[in-house]
Amino acid sequence: MATFANRSEKPRPGRGFSFPGTVRFRGTPEWWLGILLGLLYVAGIAAFGHAGPFTDEVDHYAQIALFRHGDFRVLTDYLTTIPGYHVLVAGLLRITGTDSLAAARWVNAGFGLLAAAGFHALRRRAWPGTEALATAQFLALPVLAPLFFLVYTDVLALALLLWATWATLARRHWLAACLLVMLVGVRQHEAVWAVLLGWIAVREGAGDGAAPARSAAQTARTLVPYVIPMLVFGAFWLWNGSISLSSLQAGLHPDLGIHAGNLWIALLVAGLLLPLQTWAGLREFTASVRRRPWLAAIPAVLIVAFWYGFHADNPYNTAFPWYYLHNALPHMLERHSGARALAAVIVAAAACGLAPTRLRPAGAAMLYPVAALFLAASWLVELRYALVPLVLWLAMREQRGRVAEYATLALWLALAVLMVAATVSHRVFL
């Protein structure tokens, strides 16, 4: 029986395997998911084809256009990230002979397919036989779906991280290091995920009882590739003087500090998007409380902590709450006590209900502290910041059963279509 403590295991060889509550796909046709998602993906590309620029697309495409035409000035007054994404998109536009915002969006949609392939490969290695539905859920994730079709850095960064994680599980550690270095060139603060991958690499090679544990020297050799992207990140930080590329933006994106806003929002999003999984996990948590009554204090502490601790006080979080969803949520939670109380209950339920979820590979439980560090380091509350830990968790988690997982897919598809439609029509933006 599962307990409140997280458990992680190595994948076993063979055609497939299952645990109670796990979705098993070996021998079942899932090709229709590919057709459905493929048609919706093409529809998304077409929907955004002639729409005007959205928010940060203005700055991102301006930088791409400069590079595309051989002008290598960097818009350091506006960009917070190293312009690796912009160089790559500009190069692809130049190779294909295209030069438009729509063409840049097509390139980004290609990055989305690369990310989906990375998710599929990672899921297949961690939980063989469950990758079809899991990848469909990835493509339908409502807080990700609009970003597939926009000129934003998030999707390429996600693709690089997913493939780096796959490379770690495949024990191709230098390939993982190369991908992580590329990731630093796209979204430099995501270098922190090298800690998770290094930990997984060590745990995967530590022996499972059938093989002897590694020596300290072997462990050090395994970790060397994962130190390199951290050193590259540190060198950039020292050279630039701040983590944000733009010194003008650094004040609103400070280097050091702990801010709880994104931690709470990530839990709230997880609870809202995964109600069936949260409910199933709460039953396991309740069973654990019967054996260890002190665990009953956890949800109460979380509710109180959220009530008094959630604040979105970055000035950017006050901008146009009727348009930006990441500002509308804090705006509502700060002004309506009923919404704040409900959100506190959802956050506590998500934390307690999703914690019992079995994760793979060995060492995957390190996702939680690294995610907490990653989220707490950002002062600005953004739904996009929850994407990376949520996607990695989805790739590594045990699924809860065919009915629950297909119901989740149906819910996400409906929400994703609504989000894309609302974004295209300029009514709402993430």
Neighbours of 39 (CB within 10 A): 10
The pLDDT value recorded for residue 326 is 95
- What rounded mean pLDDT belongs to the chain? 91
When comparing pLDDT for 292 and 252, which is higher?
292
Answer yes or no: are the C-beta atoms of 303 and 345 closer than 8 Å: yes
Distance between CA 351 and CA 302 in Å, rounded? 8
Instruction: Kindly report, residue by residue over 52-100, the tens digit of the pLDDT.
Output: 999 999 999 999 999 999 999 999 999 999 999 999 999 999 999 999 9
Residue with more model confidence, 401 or 397: 397
> Please, what is the angle between helix 261-273 and helix 275-291, to 10°?
110
Query: Which alpha helices (H) appear in 241-273, and where do they start and end?
Result: 261-273
Query: With the CA atoms of 275, 137, 204 and 401 taken in that order, what torsion angle do they form, in degrees rounded to the nearest 10?
Result: 50
For residue 311, the enclosing domain spans 56-206+218-424
Going by pLDDT thresholds of 50, 70 and 90, the confidence category of residue 216 is confident
Q: Is 156 exposed, middle or buried (0-12, 13-18, 19+ CB in 10 A)?
A: buried
> Is residue 209 pLDDT above 90, yes or no?
no
Please enumerate in sequence order all residues whose Cβ is within 8 A of that of 22, keeping only pairs 6 or more positions apart, or say none: 127, 130, 398, 399, 401
Query: For residue 24, is pLDDT > 50?
Result: no
Residue 237 lies in a domain: yes
Helix (H) or strand (E) holding 259: none
Q: How many domains does the chain have?
A: 1
- Note the pLDDT of residue 206: 66
Neighbours of 78 (CB within 10 A): 16
Q: Report whether pLDDT(14) > 50.
A: no
Q: Is residue 212, in this structure, part of any structural domain at all?
A: no
Q: What is the distance of C-alpha 345 from the center of its chain?
A: 23
Please, which pLDDT band fits residue 214 given cuts at 50, 70 and 90? low
- 353 closest CA partner among 262, 264, 275, 265: 275
Which residues make Cβ contacts (< 8 Å) with residue 211, sequence separation at least 6? none
With respect to residue 211, please indicate whether it lies within any of the assigned structural domains: no
Minimum mean pLDDT range among 16-30, 76-90, 246-260: 16-30
Question: Tens of pLDDT along 127-150?
Answer: 999 999 999 999 999 999 999 999
325-379 pLDDT, tens digit each: 999 999 999 999 999 999 999 999 999 999 989 999 999 999 999 999 999 999 9
Residue 325 burial (10 A CB sphere; 0-12, 13-18, 19+) = middle
Q: 């990140």: which residue's tokens?
A: 233
Q: Does 125 fall in a domain?
A: yes
Domain presence at residue 8: no
Instruction: Name residue, tokens 């069936």.
Output: 276
Confidence of residue 3 (pLDDT cuts 50, 70, 90): very low
